[in-house]
Amino acid sequence: MLALYGHPFSSYTWKAQIALHATGLDYDFRVFDEAHPEHYAFVQEQAGPLGKFPVLVDGDKVLFEASTIVEYIALHWPAAVPLIPDDPDAAIAIRMIDRVFDNYLMGSMQAVVDEYLRDGARPDDARCAEARARLLRTYGWLDRWLAHYPLRGSDHITLIECAAAPSLFYADWVERIGDDFPRLAAWRAHLNALPAVSRCIEAARPFRPNFPLGAPDRD
């Protein structure tokens, strides 16, 4: 059986889990926390230069980086609706949008979270303001992009949805996706309701008090 090392509250763990859930794969979820020192040791020793999760183990294969894990699942367990399209140009387009969610949305959200982790009572206001401005600019770009995204209202899951669902979920907690971005707000709600995503949301619910900015009373 496949094994996935990660944490239920981790956005990048969700990204890999959404692909596993959408494909209908069984897997052994090995939680990375203080209660499981053997999982911590494995990740630190086997998972790339910085020992980060998620990590997928398939026999003697060890894969890290969430996008790589999704690509591996798409290659070896093709779903009825592929996570990565067969057409090379369509696949490149999907990979490009995956980078938008990881680098521009998740990266900006994490910059604010990191400030509160560094000093929750005195985060650097300038750094937080810069990161929130990047979030708002990315929201605007995504709202316009969604006008042309053919899967916006469907239940199909691709690499894009695997990346979008967790990043939008947590980004909204840092900088609310308001009325200026109606397509993006509606799509976030749609993604949250997908079974492959809602399974992650519910598993993470007990950990919400750990969110450094305070988890909002929604979702």
160 domain-assigned: yes
At 76-103, the pLDDT tens digits run 998 777 999 999 999 999 999 999 999 9
At 168-199, the pLDDT tens digits run 999 999 999 999 999 999 999 999 999 999 99
Q: Which residue in the block uniquely carries the two structure tokens 């900015």?
A: 213
213 domain-assigned: no
Distance (Å, whole) CA 135 – CA 109: 7
pLDDT value for 218: 87
pLDDT value for 46: 85
Whether 72 and 117 map to the same domain: the answer is: no
Whether 104 and 151 map to the same domain: the answer is: yes
Of 135, 5, 3, 136, the C-alpha closest to 65 is 5
Whether 40 and 70 map to the same domain: the answer is: yes
pTM of the model: 0.96
Amino acid sitting at position 211: F
**If you write DSSP's letter for every residue of 151-210 in order, what string do you get?**
TTTS----HHHHHHHHHHHHHHHHS---TT-HHHHHHHHHHHHSHHHHHHHHHHGGGGGG
Q: Which residue in the block uniquely carries the two structure tokens 């999982």?
A: 39
CATH number (domain holding residue 52) = 3.40.30.10
* Domain carrying residue 102: 88-202
Domains in the chain: how many in total? Answer: 2
Whether 51 and 155 map to the same domain: the answer is: no
CATH number (domain holding residue 193) = 1.20.1050.10
